[in-house]
Amino acid sequence: MQEYRTYEIDMVDYQYGNLAPAFQPGLERQRMEEERIRRKQERERRMRQSRLQEHKKELRRRKIHALNLTFGVLVFGFLCTSYIYLQNSITTSMHHIATLQSEISDLKAANAATESRIHTSTNLNDIKNRAINEFGMVYATSDQIVYYDMQDEDYMNQYDSIP
């Protein structure tokens, strides 16, 4: 099988006119060596460009990854800060509720003490004597007392004045 080789012809090497240059065996070998070196350099240049492009792609991927990580850390920090704020708010609310409950408890105790003091300081016989003697009040007679029957209702509507 015959192997075909193709060579690029540079315009510099082209000879105008009808005379062919004399064959120089070293010149052809030198040209082939220069062509081989040129192709090798071209291949190396393409490989460098390819590696450079891959390097740029890798840098771009790393930057995107770093941005994603930064965004994730910021979101996580925001969520943690929000959680701490909410926990603090709940703790403050619970403390406020406990304070209000203790105030209610104190007020109920004070109210009970006041009621007890009122009940112990009031003598019903003194009130009865003062009402009868000073204000002229008397007990109601049986014809002045009116009884109302309540069914299962808790309240009564009054449509007329009570006699």
Asked if residue 47 is part of any domain, the answer here is yes
Q: Which domain holds residue 29?
A: 25-132
Task: Pick the more confident residue, 152 or 94.
Answer: 94
- 13: nearest Cα among 27, 3, 33: 27
The per-residue pLDDT for 33 is 86
DSSP string covering 83-124: HHHHHHHHHHHHHHHHHHHHHHHHHHHHHHHHHHHHHHH--H
Q: Total structural domains in the chain? A: 1
Q: Is the predicted pLDDT of residue 11 greater than 50, yes or no? A: no
Please state the rounded mean pLDDT for residues 100-119.
Answer: 92
The helix/strand/coil state of 17 is coil
The per-residue pLDDT for 127 is 85
Window from 6-10, 95-99, 140-144, 147-151 with minimum mean pLDDT? 6-10
Please state the rounded mean pLDDT for residues 43-63.
Answer: 94
Asked if residue 40 is part of any domain, the answer here is yes
* % of the chain at pLDDT higher than 90: 52
Asked if residue 128 is part of any domain, the answer here is yes
Asked if residue 152 is part of any domain, the answer here is no
The per-residue pLDDT for 126 is 85
Asked if residue 13 is part of any domain, the answer here is no
Q: Is the predicted pLDDT of residue 141 greater than 50, yes or no? A: yes
